[in-house]
Each structure stands twice: as structure tokens, then as C-alpha cells.
Amino acid sequence: MSQPARLEPVVNSPDLSLRIRLPHPAPPALLVLLAVGMLLAACLSPQLEHPQAQNPEFVNGHLVAQNRLLIPPLLAPHMENGEKVFDLTVGPGEAEIFPGKITQILSYNGMYPGPTIRAHAGDRVRLNITNTLEETTTVHWHGMELPAAMDGGPHQVIGPGGSWQPYWTINNQAATLWYHPHTMGKTAEQVYRGLSGFFIIDDENSDSLALPREYGVDDIPLVVQDKLFDPDGQFIYVHEHRVITAGLLGDSILVNGTYAPYIEAPAKLIRLRLLNGSAARRYNFGFSDNCTFHLIATDGGLLEAPVEQTRLLLSPGERAEILVDLSNLKEPIRLMSYVFTDGENAVQNAIQEQLAGGTDEGQQFQILELRPKTGTFVSEQIPKVLNTIEHLDENVVLKTRRFVLEAFTINSKMMDHERIDEVVRTGATEIWEVENNSPIYHGFHVHGIQFWVLDRNGMTPPVSEQGWKDTVTVTPQETVRLIMKFLEYSDPNLPYMFHCHNLTHEDMGMMGQFVVVDEPSGQAQIQSPPDGIKQGDHAGHQN
Ligand SMILES: [Cu+2]
């Protein structure tokens, strides 16, 4: 088991005096008064936009970037019967996030974040997973197209001391995916305590493109996660889900598990693979010099062409690959997260700010300092064409399904292990209409498939969303229509999940199950794991 990398000494420590903003549950009458008051205030002042947008809170403005960014090592596979076999141990671990303080973590192979798994389209892969924790976990391959039995959702539990060997053939195109636990009711906490890692896919197209591709040098994975620390440098995980409607928000940002990070990058075009690995916080990424960057990939693969941006909003679970040109940079710049507004709904935002104990929209953070290395570097020319995408045809849609998100249900239902919510036919093209009928944002994630965003409230989505996706933000009162084509992974007994990817909400039951079958006529039967825990070897269906 490898040891966590030691960090360079930190001069500045976070403000370890507790700054949790746990709202005290207010008496109902007070809530009503507050809501009425804010409605009145909003009506009387039409210029009121977003209370914090006008007065943004620069949460970590004092921070001096001091620690070299940790790059998760690539996990080397061994070949066995034509398969790439990766060994992954889930277990307790330690990290020195602050000098002289050992933070207790949950780890993959002793590390936080876990090692990066990398495979090529067409590869047969097998994951040899052992759980040495004293609690149950699962390992979910977020964004991966694979049989339900290999998905690592709440049904593929790995008990304490147990193991699991899922295997499949890589069907995805080149993309930045990730892996993390999906344990019933424990996903947010297990991810928060350190369980997450990248799963990068390459394919012939991405191999042929002149894009920055030197892992950790000019092609840099960045998992961004917010944390709360106690004075001893331990993670504080707040369990009181039901009073924190926004979900757990931390005031310290870690990038690849590094606090106050910097990276020395070649002064040329570089590629950042951004992953929002937080439980609930969204990040509105941009750079301190306000430079434009090029978005080249969404969750599930490369866009058809690069898109110029100055800001990019990612909600939990979403990924993006961007190109940033550091060629003429003399001074460091910072990757930032800026304030944003959650749609145009000022009144609801204001109420949410008050009742949810603060939210993410009004908070600004510095995320990572990029220091240009001196030297002579040759930049790649940004390709004009990145990918050929076969668009799904709305005219062959077999079925449209509707999902209404409320706090904290989907179609008025909470997750039930024993209930199949939707039965889908293999090969079917469907439209999933996702409506947010609640005053707070939700992220919608579908397992085992990549989809396309057709429209948001009837409008074409921004170009930054015109690519393969598996997770989307749905803001209050918004309806997002997704089009997707189901693959040939039939399994009447084991479901895939659809859920809110605000992990706090997911754990509160904001999740449902669907099966993909050849013949949707029969009643789907759920195979529940015996007493919720499956130990020892478990392999599912042949791919
Ligand atoms: Cu949600």
C-alpha cells in the first residue's frame, strides 16, 4: 500500500476555528414571517438581484498558495487472460493535509484522492476490489457505459472484509470519468472522507488529436472538494441532513486533496480535467486574469469543436476538460470560483439564503494557483474539430418520461430498494423530462448511459452543454429535457440508478431505479442482496 504523499510545509493554516453555519431549525411561525418579509422586500425593490451577488463573500481571500498540488498516480494494471486488471483496496488512511497534523481519511490504495485508472476504448478491464473498512461500501464507475451488475450502485455492496471483481469492455469514448462509493445513505460521507478517483478513457480519436496529453504535466486532473475541518485538522462531516437543505458546504477547498495548492505548469497550452467531487457545492470556474479558455469536453467526451468561455459552472459530479494558454504568462494566475445566480429567481434565492443557512451562489474562492515555468515550450494548435458526434434523433423516440424533483423526492417518491420505478427497453431512444419543482437546485444523474441536453425551459442549452453528459444541473422552476439511447445491457433483475447528485440529497432518498430489458412486458423482480450485504467474490453478467 502506498503512503500518502507528504506535502510541503504550509505557512498559512486555514481558520480552524469552526465556521460551520449550521442553521438552527427555526420555529415555523418565524419561517413564515421571514418568508413573507423577504417576499415583500423583493417586491418593493425590483433591482434586488441576489443578496450575496452584490456583496460576494470571498471566503478564502486570505489564502497564500503554499502546497505543491498532489497529482494522483496512475494505477498500473497487470494483464491477465487479455484483461487489464487493476487492484484497488478500500481502507482507512492518513493524509498530512496541514503540516504536523494527520487527517484520518478513507482511501483507495492508501491515498486521497484514489489513484487514476486509465483505459482505452475496446479494452477489457477487471477491477480487483478489496474492502478493508469496517463498514460496507460500493465502487461506482460514474459515467461508464456497462452492465448494471458491474455499475457499483447500491446493489453491488462490498461488506467489511469483502471483495468484488467487476469486469467489462470499455464502450465509452475518450472522456474524464470518475469512481466513488454509492453506498445507501452513506455516499456523501464516504466520498467526503476521501473516496474518489479519476477514471480516464482514451480512444483512437483522442489519440490522434494534438492536445496536451502529458499526464500531470500539461494534462492535469483536478478534483475540487470543499471541506470543514476541526482544530485538529480532522474532517467534520455534518449528519443533520434534514436541516441543511442545500447540503453540506465546506469553507476549505481541497484540490486533489491539497490545501492552498499551486502547480508549476509549462508556459504553454495546458489541459485541465475538472471534476466537481463535492457533495453539494457548485463552482463557477474562471481565472483571476479573466482570460478566455477553451472548453473541449463535457462529462462524457469531447465536444465537436472547442468553445471559448470565461466562466464555467459545474455542479457536483459534473466534469469538463478545458484548455488554458499560459504561453505569455509572466505572473501566476489563479483558477477561481466566482459568485453566480441560480436562475433569475431572486425571491427564492433570498429565502434559500436565509433558510438554508447560506448557499454556494454568493461565495467566491481561490482554487489553484498556476505558476508558469520558465523555459521554451511549444504549444499545440487548438484543433478546430475535436469529435464527430452522431446526434440522437427525436423522431425515433419510443417514450417520454417525466421526473419531477421536489425537496427531496423524485415523482413524490423516495428511494426504495425493492421498487423498480422505470422499465426501459434495450436500444430504445427516450426523452427524460426533468422538472425542478423545488426552491433549490438539484443535479440529475443517470447511471450506465450518456445523454444529450435537448433544451432548458424550451431553449437550446448553452454551447458549453452541447456534448455528452451524464449529470445536469436543474435550477428552481426549470425543466430540462434529455435525450438518450439505451444500450444492449439487458438485466431484468438488477437496476441502474437515477438520482440527484447533490450527495446529501441522494442520501436523503432522492433516487430511483430503472431496469433495461429486452422485453419490457414482464414484471421486473429485484434481486436484493441478502441482508443488505454481499460478501466475498461477486461477479455479474457477461458483457
Ligand atoms: Cu437534490
272 CA → ligand 1 middle, Å: 27
Q: Which residues of the chain have pLDDT under 50?
A: 1-53, 242-243, 528-543
236 CA → ligand 1 middle, Å: 21
502 CA → ligand 1 middle, Å: 5
154 CA → ligand 1 middle, Å: 18
What is the C-alpha to C-alpha distance for residues 533 and 483, in angstroms, rounded to an integer?
Answer: 35
499 CA → ligand 1 middle, Å: 8
Q: How do the domains of the chain map onto residue ranges?
A: 74-203, 211-373, 394-528
Question: Which CATH superfamily includes the segment(s) 74-203?
Answer: Cupredoxins -  blue copper proteins (2.60.40.420)
190 CA → ligand 1 middle, Å: 18
Specify whether domain 394-528 bears CATH 2.60.40.290: no
Are 249 and 316 within 8 A, CB to CB?
no
Fold (CATH) for 211-373 = Immunoglobulin-like (2.60.40)
Q: Which three cell numbers stand for residue 337?
A: 470560483
Measuring CA to CA, which residue among 77, 283, 96, 382 is closest to residue 199? 77
Q: Which three cell numbers stand for residue 342?
A: 441560480
Output the pLDDT for position 249: 86
Cα four-point dihedral sign 259, 264, 266, 268: positive
Output the pLDDT for position 16: 43
Q: Which three cell numbers stand for residue 513?
A: 431505479
300 CA → ligand 1 middle, Å: 21
Q: How far is CA 235 from the centre of its chain?
A: 19
442 CA → ligand 1 middle, Å: 4
Output the pLDDT for position 521: 60
403 CA → ligand 1 middle, Å: 13
316 CA → ligand 1 middle, Å: 10
409 CA → ligand 1 middle, Å: 8
3-state helix, strand, coil in the chain (%, to 5): 10, 40, 50
500 CA → ligand 1 middle, Å: 5
Measuring CA to CA, which residue among 240, 192, 321, 172 is closest to residue 23? 240
Q: Which three cell numbers stand for residue 89?
A: 483496496
Measuring CA to CA, which residue among 157, 483, 177, 119 is closest to residue 317? 177
441 CA → ligand 1 middle, Å: 6
b/e burial code for range 402-433 (CB count within 10 A of at least 16 → b): ebebeebbbeeeebeeeebbbbbbbeebbbbe
Q: Which three cell numbers stand for residue 307?
A: 468553445
Output the pLDDT for position 476: 87
Interacting residues of 180 by C-beta distance below 8 A, sequence separation 6+: 139, 140, 142, 187, 190, 191, 195, 196, 197, 277
The count of other CB atoms within 10 Å of the CB of residue 173 is: 21
SS3 352: helix
Are 95 and 102 within 8 A, CB to CB?
yes
What is the C-alpha to C-alpha distance for residues 357 and 354, in angstroms, rounded to an integer?
Answer: 6
299 CA → ligand 1 middle, Å: 19
For residue 390, CA distances in Å to 75, 343, 467, 468 come to 32, 31, 11, 11
Q: Which three cell numbers stand for residue 497?
A: 440508478
439 CA → ligand 1 middle, Å: 11
What is the C-alpha to C-alpha distance for residues 380 and 268, in angstroms, rounded to an integer?
Answer: 8
Residues shown for the chain: 543
Helices (H) and strands (E) in the chain, counts: 5, 34
E-assigned strands of 99-218? 101-108, 117-120, 124-131, 140-142, 163-164, 167-169, 175-180, 197-202
247 CA → ligand 1 middle, Å: 8
SS3 358: coil
201 CA → ligand 1 middle, Å: 28
Output the pLDDT for position 239: 72
Output the pLDDT for position 15: 43
What is the C-alpha to C-alpha distance for residues 185 and 301, in angstroms, rounded to an integer?
Answer: 30
379 CA → ligand 1 middle, Å: 41
506 CA → ligand 1 middle, Å: 7
505 CA → ligand 1 middle, Å: 5
520 CA → ligand 1 middle, Å: 29
497 CA → ligand 1 middle, Å: 14
Are 481 and 436 within 8 A, CB to CB?
no
443 CA → ligand 1 middle, Å: 6
Burial-class residue 39 by CB neighbours within 10 Å (0-12, 13-18, 19+).
Answer: middle
64 CA → ligand 1 middle, Å: 33
7 CA → ligand 1 middle, Å: 35
Q: What is the CA angle 281-242-506, rounded to 5?
A: 55
Output the pLDDT for position 361: 85
The answer to whether the 211-373 and 394-528 domains have the same CATH topology is yes
539 CA → ligand 1 middle, Å: 31
289 CA → ligand 1 middle, Å: 33
Measuring CA to CA, which residue among 390, 368, 278 is closest to residue 322? 368
367 CA → ligand 1 middle, Å: 24
475 CA → ligand 1 middle, Å: 10
Beta partners for 445?
471, 499
328 CA → ligand 1 middle, Å: 42
Kindly state the helix (H) or strand (E) to which residue 31 belongs, with its residue range. Answer: helix 28-44
